[in-house]
Amino acid sequence: MPVQQYRFQVRNARGETVGGVLAAESVAGAAQVLRGRGDHILQLSPAAGGESAWKRLNESLSFSAGPSQKDILDFTTQLAVMIRAGISIRSALEGIAEQVANAKFKRILIQIKGDVESGKQFSEAIARHPKLFGPLYVSMVRASEMSGSFGRMLDRIANYLAQEAETRRMVVGASIYPGIIALMAIGTTVFLLTFVLPSFAGVFKGKEEALPAPTTFLLGLSKFMIEYWWLILLAVGGVAAGFLSFIRTEIGGLWWDGFKISAPVLKRMFRALYLSRSLQTMGELLNAGVPMLDTLAITGDVSGNRHYRRLWRSVHNSVKQGKQLQTQLARSPLLPRSVVQMVSAGEESGRLGEVLDEISGYYAKALRDAIKAVTGMIEPIMIVLMGSIVGFIAMAIILPIFKMSNLASGK
Strand ranges of the sheet holding 4-11, from the earlier edge strand across to the other edge: 17-24, 4-11, 40-46
* 238 or 61, higher pLDDT: 238
Q: Is residue 97 a contact partner of residue 108, using CB atoms and an 8 Å limit?
A: no
pLDDT at 1: 52
With 0.75 as the threshold, say if the pTM is over it. Answer: no
Nearest in space to 358 (alpha carbons), one of 287, 266, 271: 287
Q: Is the pLDDT of residue 344 over 60?
A: yes
Arithmetic mean of pLDDT, 27-33: 73
Tens digit of each residue's pLDDT (9 = 90 or more) over 131-164: 888 888 888 888 888 777 788 888 888 888 888 8
160-164, 206-210, 357-361: least confident range: 206-210
Q: Is the pLDDT of residue 3 over 80?
A: no
65: confidence class by pLDDT, cuts 50, 70, 90? low
Residue partners of 224: CB distance under 8 A and separation at least 6: none
Q: Is the pLDDT of residue 42 over 70?
A: no
pLDDT at 52: 42
238: confidence class by pLDDT, cuts 50, 70, 90? very high
Q: What domains are defined for the chain? A: 4-133 (1.20.81), 167-411 (1.20.81.30)
Q: What are phi and psi of 41, to 5 degrees?
A: -75, 125
Beta bridge partners, 9, equal 19, 43
Tens digit of each residue's pLDDT (9 = 90 or more) over 267-291: 888 888 888 888 888 888 888 888 8
Mean pLDDT of the chain: 81
Q: What are phi and psi of 231, to 5 degrees?
A: -70, -35
Q: Is the pLDDT of residue 338 over 60?
A: yes
205-214, 225-234, 355-364: least confident range: 205-214
Neighbours of 196 (CB within 10 A): 14
